[in-house]
């Protein structure tokens, strides 16, 4: 595996935060938002976030999401990671990345797994299908902002994440709107159909070097283009891996995702290292 160098980060001594950065220092294992420091999670399932119609048949559909919260957590506001499944906009549902959402919750985030519209009829139109999914992604983020108080969410710290088609959705939420509604994006085996533009929030992109579904070189080059424009884009390549990295590299992807969000998204929003709650430490 190859990756861009980790940004120098502050280290903890006990509960005190050092003022200087220590090269190569990892966050202690009790650090919330980086490590899985909480004992478990609580799930609220089947929340309807949008009433709309299918792009292929025009039939009405209610889109739902599941909210994974850290068990026993009393923090007033929690950052959010929205996980979106893969399946080429033809198949899949929010259960596919339930493990990712639960992992986010155990690290102190609120993990959200959403459904978005897939193409179920004949005559598949990838543009129409991906556009519908993009609209659903924005609607889910808007719903989370509107209901932030209900689930103690930080509306300014919502990160879009996904695998394959879901990764495309996440990057579209980052690059398409004039002003991005998300604080960052995580793309597992995916790339944006639109080129990066300057002044965008950070992105983390994972790719297998043998991925032929979403060609590795295209993902790599798009991330480099984003960096050339002055954006943060951390690219992680898994040597010899194919499109199924969300399965084969799940543990590493989850760990690197949490590390990236904390260092590149939350830090700039004023978050600092917190120890695990005493009951879960």
User: 87 in a domain, yes or no?
Assistant: yes
pLDDT of 1 reads: 39
One pLDDT digit (tens) per residue for the chain, 281 residues: 333 333 333 333 233 333 333 333 589 999 999 999 998 999 999 999 999 999 999 999 999 999 999 999 999 999 999 999 999 999 999 999 999 999 999 999 999 999 999 999 999 999 999 999 999 999 999 999 999 999 999 999 999 999 999 999 999 999 999 999 999 999 999 999 999 999 999 999 999 999 999 999 999 999 999 999 999 999 999 999 999 999 999 999 999 999 999 999 999 999 998 887 654 43
CB neighbour burial string for 60-84, b if at least 16 within 10 angstroms, e if fewer: ebebbbbbbbbbebeeebbbbbbbb
The domain in which residue 190 lies consists of 32-269
Secondary structure letter of residue 99 according to DSSP = H
User: 94 in a domain, yes or no?
Assistant: yes
pLDDT of 91 reads: 97
CA-to-CA dists, residue 120 to 138, 190, 236, angstroms: 21, 22, 33
How many structural domains compose the chain?
1
pLDDT of 278 reads: 57
User: 5 in a domain, yes or no?
Assistant: no
Residue 72 and residue 113 in contact, taking contact as beta carbons nearer than 8 Å: no
User: 11 in a domain, yes or no?
Assistant: no
What is the rounded distance in angstroms from the CA atom of residue 160 to the CA atom of residue 173? 7
User: 281 in a domain, yes or no?
Assistant: no
What is the rounded distance in angstroms from the CA atom of residue 139 to the CA atom of residue 259? 27
CATH of residue 122's domain is: 3.40.50.1820
User: 21 in a domain, yes or no?
Assistant: no
CA-to-CA dists, residue 189 to 11, 42, 93, 156, angstroms: 31, 28, 17, 26
User: 56 in a domain, yes or no?
Assistant: yes
pLDDT of 198 reads: 97
User: 280 in a domain, yes or no?
Assistant: no
- For residue 193, give both structure tokens: 């159909």
């Amino acid at each position: 595996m190859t990756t861009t160098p980790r940004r120098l980060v502050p280290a903890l001594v006990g509960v005190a935060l050092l003022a200087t950065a220590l090269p190569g220092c990892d966050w202690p294992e009790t650090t919330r938002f980086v490590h899985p420091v909480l004992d478990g999670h609580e799930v609220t399932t089947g929340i309807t976030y949008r009433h709309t119609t299918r792009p292929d048949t025009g039939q009405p559909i209610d889109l739902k999401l599941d909210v994974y919260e850290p068990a026993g957590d009393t923090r007033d506001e929690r950052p959010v990671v929205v996980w979106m499944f893969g399946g080429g906009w033809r198949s899949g549902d929010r259960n596919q990345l339930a493990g990712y959402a639960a992992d986010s919750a155990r690290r102190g985030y609120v993990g959200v797994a959403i459904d978005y519209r897939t193409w179920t009829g004949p005559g598949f139109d990838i543009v129409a299908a991906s556009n519908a999914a993009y609209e659903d992604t924005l609607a889910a983020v808007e719903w989370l902002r509107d209901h932030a108080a209900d689930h103690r969410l930080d509306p300014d710290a919502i990160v879009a994440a996904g695998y394959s088609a879901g990764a495309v959705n996440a990057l579209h939420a980052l690059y398409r709107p004039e002003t991005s509604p998300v604080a960052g994006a995580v793309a597992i085996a995916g790339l944006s159909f639109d080129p990066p533009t300057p002044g965008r929030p950070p992105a983390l992109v994972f790719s297998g070097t043998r991925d032929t579904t979403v060609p590795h070189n295209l993902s790599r080059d798009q991330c480099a283009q984003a960096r050339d424009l002055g954006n943060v884009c951390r690219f992680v390549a898994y040597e010899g891996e194919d499109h199924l990295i969300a399965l084969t590299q799940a543990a590493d992807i989850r760990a690197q995702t949490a590390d990236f969000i904390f260092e590149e998204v939350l830090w700039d929003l004023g978050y600092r290292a917190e120890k695990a709650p005493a009951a879960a430490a």
